[in-house]
């Protein structure tokens, strides 16, 4: 009976995978190609699909099949898949279908309003739809917290990072608050008097796109199963068989879009190399958002801003965009490793970036816990930016609390995974260097193959066959240790100068 029940469950989750495929494509189109007038109809269609998926996942038949299975009769990989099935069903069952539908509708509407309000610096216009997203997110947090026996914000954290506790996260972040400000001051001081030459545009969008696609190909991106497009906020979406990347271009500057492409390619390589045999099952999905972000940051930060990579990139940059003083190798290295606190998170340098995450973590935790209301966010934002980065954002909502898309669909608890991912990326790179002593020399020769193959073996093809802690232990030989991250930043930005 167990074997038949397990096979029936796999069939149900294959169906859910196909529904998710359609939802991913509708979401990609919504953010890239859809005309503005289609937003309400698309919101309703996506809400309908979310309810269909929720009903399929939480049906009495699925719960009966789960109860029928004796895990000891399954193969180890099937046991891992069953564990992930049960996690998904548990997380979905606590949520009422009407709340799932309401959240999907509110998120789609809020994202549409955000598209208009951000360029217009219109925080007041954004508030009504955002207020509804927050109300529904608080309700979700309450329901999940009661089911899990934890705090409300922690309940949302666990959606993106299963097993993570708020206490563990606060310990990591509190430690980072101690050393980050001083390291940032040191890094800025080390670069004083060595201002890099800035690239002089204009740079054509087609030229930038071709350069980006060349770098994507060098990193092994499979264009038969994915593509690059443009959106207001860069992202990676789709499904492993059809991965969609986006970036945004500026005519007066070229490196931001390129680094964004490299970042999203890290996500894409992970998705394209998940275990094929488990592609339609929960065990075949990416392990967690921190692991996902570790892959994008392994390519963007660990590799993409390194001197060996810049030396490989330089002739391609000249060939694509023309020669100029800014494109000299040493100047490009200075540009890639320049530390200069700025307003925009996605454009931030590697040292100041964690401060952006601390800011968002502090605000969204207080928001979900009911300590502040949406009207309080700009004041909290201005205070945090001044304290953490010494920047004035008063009245600048566009480059302040309206800059990110994540909160529009209620993705509270997501932001911390960026810094956790950066920490894991540093630890993974250290492990890869120990395993492959020629890794940096090969990259300097224009061959990233050793690094990519190591990541494929130790992260990408593991999917969710293990828990996050076990994946990290197997890949690096130890538990997550933020000290690798601090050491990496100090060696690149302070001791290296």
Q: Quick one: pLDDT at residue 346?
A: 86
Please state, in angstroms and as integers, the Cα–Cα distance from residue 433 to each residue in 299, 301, 370, 438, 444, following that order: 14, 15, 45, 8, 14
Please name every residue paired with 246 in a beta bridge, in sequence order, or none if there are none: 229
Q: Quick one: pLDDT at residue 495?
A: 87
Q: Quick one: pLDDT at residue 497?
A: 66
Of the pLDDT bands very low, low, confident and very high (cuts 50, 70, 90), residue 120 is very high
Instruction: Check: CB of residue 493 under 8 Å from CB of residue 350.
Output: yes
Q: Quick one: pLDDT at residue 2?
A: 64
Say how far residue 265 (Cα) sits from the centre of its chain: 11
Q: Could you read off the pLDDT of 97-114 as tens digits, one per residue?
A: 899 999 999 999 999 999
Residue positions annotated with a catalytic role: 264
Residue 353 pLDDT greater than 90, yes or no: yes
Least confident of 164-173, 227-236, 469-478: 227-236
In angstroms, the CA 193 to CA 11 distance is: 63
Instruction: Check: CB of residue 461 under 8 Å from CB of residue 275.
Output: yes
Instruction: Check: CB of residue 239 under 8 Å from CB of residue 222.
Output: no
Q: Quick one: pLDDT at residue 127?
A: 97
Calculate mean pLDDT across residues 365-377.
97
Q: Quick one: pLDDT at residue 98?
A: 94
Q: Which residues contact 341 (CB under 8 A, 6 or more apart)?
A: 184, 188, 348, 349, 352, 355, 389, 390, 391
Residue 195 pLDDT greater than 90, yes or no: no
Residue 1 pLDDT greater than 60, yes or no: no
Residue 452 pLDDT greater than 90, yes or no: yes
Topology of domain 169-495, CATH: 1.10.1370
Q: Could you read off the pLDDT of 234-284 as tens digits, one per residue?
A: 899 999 999 999 999 999 999 999 999 999 999 999 999 999 999 999 999
In angstroms, the CA 460 to CA 271 distance is: 7
Give the number of C-alpha atoms closer than 13 A to the C-alpha of residue 290, restricted to the C-beta side: 28
Calculate mean pLDDT across residues 397-403.
96
pLDDT exceeding 90 applies to what percent of the chain? 94
Residue 485 pLDDT greater than 90, yes or no: yes
The structure's pTM equals 0.93
CA-wise closest residue to 420 among 306, 287, 262:
287
Of the pLDDT bands very low, low, confident and very high (cuts 50, 70, 90), residue 43 is confident
Question: Beta-carbon neighbour count of residue 411 at 10 Å?
Answer: 19
Of the pLDDT bands very low, low, confident and very high (cuts 50, 70, 90), residue 304 is very high
Q: What 3-state class would DSSP assign to 281?
A: coil
Instruction: Write down the H helix ranges in 337-491.
Output: 353-368, 377-389, 416-435, 439-444, 449-458, 468-476, 483-490
Q: Could you read off the pLDDT of 403-446 as tens digits, one per residue?
A: 999 999 999 999 999 999 999 999 999 999 999 999 999 998 99
pLDDT exceeding 70 applies to what percent of the chain? 99
Question: Beta-carbon neighbour count of residue 49 at 10 Å?
Answer: 17
Q: Quick one: pLDDT at residue 172?
A: 97
Of the pLDDT bands very low, low, confident and very high (cuts 50, 70, 90), residue 229 is very high
In angstroms, the CA 239 to CA 17 distance is: 9
DSSP assignment letter at 465: S
Mean pLDDT across the chain, nearest whole number? 95
Calculate mean pLDDT across residues 312-319.
96
Where in the chain is CATH 1.10.1370.30? 169-495
- CA angle, 8 then 12 then 16, to 5°: 165
Q: Which residues contact 231 (CB under 8 A, 6 or more apart)?
A: 31, 32, 246, 247, 248
Residue 496 pLDDT greater than 80, yes or no: no
């Amino acid at each position: 009976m167990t074997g038949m029940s397990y096979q029936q469950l796999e069939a149900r989750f294959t169906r859910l995978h196909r529904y998710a495929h359609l939802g991913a494509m509708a979401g990609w189109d919504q953010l890239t190609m859809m005309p503005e007038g289609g937003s309400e109809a698309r919101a309703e269609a996506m809400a309908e699909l979310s309810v269909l998926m929720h009903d399929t996942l939480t049906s009495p038949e699925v719960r009966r099949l789960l109860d029928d299975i004796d895990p000891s009769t399954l193969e180890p990989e099937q046991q891992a898949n069953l564990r992930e099935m049960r996690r998904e069903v548990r997380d979905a069952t606590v949520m009422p279908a009407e709340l799932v539908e309401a959240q999907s509708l509110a998120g789609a509407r809020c994202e549409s309003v955000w598209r208009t309000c951000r360029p217009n610096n219109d925080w007041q216009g954004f508030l009504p739809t955002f207020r509804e997203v927050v109300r529904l997110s608080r309700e979700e947090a309450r329901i999940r917290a009661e089911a899990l026996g934890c705090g409300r914000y922690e309940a949302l954290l666990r959606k993106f990072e299963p097993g993570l506790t708020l206490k563990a996260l606060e310990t990591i972040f509190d430690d980072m608050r101690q050393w980050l400000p001083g390291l940032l001051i040191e890094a800025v001081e080390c670069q004083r008097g060595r201002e890099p030459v800035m690239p002089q545009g204009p740079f054509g969008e087609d030229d930038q796109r071709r350069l980006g696609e060349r770098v994507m190909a060098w990193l092994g991106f499979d264009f038969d199963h994915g593509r690059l497009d443009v959106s207001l906020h860069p992202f990676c979406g789709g499904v492993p068989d059809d991965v969609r990347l986006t970036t945004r271009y500026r005519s007066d500057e070229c490196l931001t879009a390129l680094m964004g492409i490299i970042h999203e390619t890290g996500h894409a390589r992970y998705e394209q190399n998940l275990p094929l045999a488990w592609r339609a099952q929960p065990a075949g999905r990416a392990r967690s958002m921190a692991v996902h972000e570790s892959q994008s940051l392994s390519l963007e930060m660990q590799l993409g801003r390194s001197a060996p990579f810049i030396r490989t990139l330089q002739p391609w940059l000249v060939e694509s965009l023309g020669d100029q003083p800014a494109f000299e190798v040493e100047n490009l290295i200075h540009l890639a490793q320049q530390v200069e606190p700025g307003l925009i998170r996605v454009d931030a340098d590697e040292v100041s970036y964690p401060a952006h995450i601390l800011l968002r973590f502090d605000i969204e935790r207080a928001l979900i816990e009911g300590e502040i209301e949406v009207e309080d966010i700009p004041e909290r934002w201005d205070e945090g930016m001044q304290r953490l980065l010494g920047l004035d954002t008063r009245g600048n909502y566009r480059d302040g609390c309206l800059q990110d898309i994540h909160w529009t669909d209620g993705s509270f608890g997501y932001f911390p995974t960026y810094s956790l991912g950066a920490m894991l990326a540093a630890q993974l790179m250290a492990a890869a260097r120990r395993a492959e002593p020629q890794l940096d020399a090969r990259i300097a020769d224009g061959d990233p193959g050793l690094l990519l193959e190591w990541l494929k073996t130790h992260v990408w093809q593991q999917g969710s066959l293990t828990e996050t802690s076990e994946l990290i232990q197997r890949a690096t030989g130890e538990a997550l240790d933020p000290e690798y991250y601090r050491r990496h930043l100090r060696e690149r930005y302070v001791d290296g100068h």
